[in-house]
Amino acid sequence: MKTQVAIIGSGPAGMMLAQLLARHGIESVVLERQTREHVLSRIRAGVLETTTVELLREIGVAERMEREGHAHDGVRLAFAGRESFFVDTVKTVGKRFVVYGQIEIQKDLYAAAEARGQLLIDRVEAVALHDFDAAPGRRPSVSYLRDGVRERIDCDFIAGCDGFHGVSRRAMPPGVGRKYEKVYPFGWLGVLARVPHLPDVTYVNHPRGFALASYRADRLSRYYIQVPLEDRVEDWPDERFWPELKARFPEDLAVRIVEGPSIEKSIAPLRSYVHEPMQYGRLFLCGDAAHIVPPTGAKGLNLAASDVAYLGRALVRHYRDGDDRALAAYSDTALRRVWSSVRTSWSLTNLLHRFPHFTPFDQKAQEVELDFLMRSPHALAALAEQYAGMPLEPLP
């Protein structure tokens, strides 16, 4: 089989890229390890930055998001024993964000792919990347097993959109580039429940640990609490979860939390990770395949979208204009936005969580920083600007 771009992974990065390329008449094949049912049931991100909303509009998959997504002017921060306050992203940087679940985006992208007859091969195993080093006379290809039969796709480019545990990043020759990594000493327990949600996406710093209120739809709440890394989901039956969640919220918000049976519960570890560069020869990494952020800044999906916006446009320039400057600059361009969001996510994680190793000095420094945020409109505006995310740069 032959195609122009072989895309590994049908998460948001892979599917947004396939959609963008198709809008410009560029052919791709998407390879996915999991089944469609699995991909369309993974509960993950929920908060979309302006750049992501704009990309979804540009590639023609924003219709349901515009109808069913909830636009917000900012987020709320709360600290034990003090009044909560609102970080207004519209007033400070003129940017709104939209609460719309990653599952819904995936459903919209799969529907659009089906409508245009996109070739998407699921349940692939043993995916391997070949000859992508751009040496003269060599053409990249991707091989895989499907139902025990080995298949091969020849292509011009490979887009590695296969997430943090995928094969694409590891296919780069040893010694190419470097990684930057930070592992945090706690995880997030996430709970989904069919109950009305709090009005704002609300982040809480409390001596018992971090907590977050978010949602997916009018009667579908998503809550998270910081838990020790060793904890298992079984350690957190609903009878333990709800009182713990409420104990971390300020009284005026805690009384508004509606309890109900959980319909999903999972624990995710927190990690920052960046692989540089994000390209090698004709292989380009997008999204979690190249970088991971702790979810505190709601940046992961939004970074996948900005990578796709840069790579998609660069590939369009290649095929339409024969101009490879943007492709050559992909990694450097994408990494500037990546590092900005990595820094924001790290800094918000430090500000909002209780770290087991904190000394009284560290604790005091965190409290003073929170005080400063509450008192200084400049500090608050800076935080709003970071939360809202950097605009995309023009391509070279």
Instruction: Please report, as ranges, the residues that interact with ligand RFL according to CB under 6 A.
Output: 8-14, 31-34, 39, 44-47, 102, 124, 127, 161-163, 166-167, 188, 190, 268, 287-289, 295, 298-302, 304
Which of 390, 130, 176 is closest to 278 using CA atoms?
A: 176
Which CB sits closer to ligand RFL, 26 or 286?
A: 286
Number of H helices, E strands in the chain: 14, 20
**DSSP three-state, residue 241:** helix
Nearer to ligand RFL by Cβ, of 81 and 291: the residue is 291
What is the contact surface with ligand PHB in residues (CB under 6 A)?
A: 45-47, 201, 212, 214, 222, 295-296, 298
For residues 204 and 248, the answer to whether their CB atoms sit within 8 Å is: yes
Residues forming the active site: 72, 203, 295, 299, 387
Q: Which is nearer to ligand PHB, 28 or 214 (CB)?
A: 214
222: partner contacted, choices ligand PHB, ligand RFL, none (Cβ within 5-8 A by kind): ligand PHB
Residue whose beta carbon is closest to ligand PHB: 46
Shortest distance (Å) from residue 167 CB to ligand RFL = 4
User: Cβ 372 to ligand PHB, closest distance in Å?
Assistant: 21
Q: Which does 201 bind (CB under 5 to 8 A by kind): ligand PHB, ligand RFL, none?
A: ligand PHB
Question: Residue 7 forms beta bridges with which residues?
Answer: 30, 159
CA–CA gap between residue 106 and residue 41 (Å, rounded): 9
Q: Which does 162 bind (CB under 5 to 8 A by kind): ligand PHB, ligand RFL, none?
A: ligand RFL
Judged by CB, which is closer to ligand RFL: 26, or 301?
Answer: 301
Among ligand RFL, ligand PHB, none, what binds residue 290 when CB lies within 5 to 8 Å by partner kind?
none
DSSP H helices in the chain: 12-23, 36-39, 50-58, 63-68, 89-93, 102-116, 168-171, 238-248, 251-254, 300-321, 325-328, 330-352, 360-375, 377-388
Question: What residue type is 135 in one-letter code?
Answer: A
